[in-house]
Amino acid sequence: GQNIDQPTEMTATEGAIVQINCTYQTSGFNGLFWYQQHAGEAPTFLSYNVLDGLEEKGRFSSFLSRSKGYSYLLLKELQMKDSASYLCAALDSNYQLIWGAGTKLIIKP
């Protein structure tokens, strides 16, 4: 079956760096998405990776290793507003999105 695994919850300190991991098992692969969802709000797009490597976008970076079925989202210089759930989703061979359950990130002062 198809599956996405990511930690349920993580805690980090304001100003620090945190890495949220995601492993995927899909029938074929056409890329991986990260979305951010604040409590009670809509998910919003953060990144899309289809090639191996690191893509940086301001304080957020996303990494992909296709051979390992692995991605991570790296958040630097954490701010309180980064407290949210981070959703990982992989695109399978049929271009269907397979979603993870999300990682709730708690930022402490």
Partner 1 sequence: ETGVTQTPRHLVMGMTNKKSLKCEQHLGHNAMYWYKQSAKKPLELMFVYSLEERVENNSVPSRFSPECPNSSHLFLHLHTLQPEDSALYLCASSQDVTGVDEQYFGPGTRLTVT
Name the residues that contact partner 1, by CB under 8 A: 4, 8, 30-31, 33, 40-45, 48, 50, 87, 89, 91, 95-102
Strand-strand pairing, 9-13 and 60-65:
unpaired
With respect to partner 1, which residue has the nearer C-beta, 3 or 13?
Answer: 3
The amino acid that residue 88 corresponds to is C
Contact 100, 22 (CB under 8 A): yes
Minimum distance from CB of 56 to partner 1 (Å)? 18
Minimum distance from CB of 27 to partner 1 (Å)? 13
With respect to partner 1, which residue has the nearer C-beta, 45 or 81?
Answer: 45
What's the CA gap between 102 and 34, in Å, rounded?
10
Minimum distance from CB of 76 to partner 1 (Å)? 22
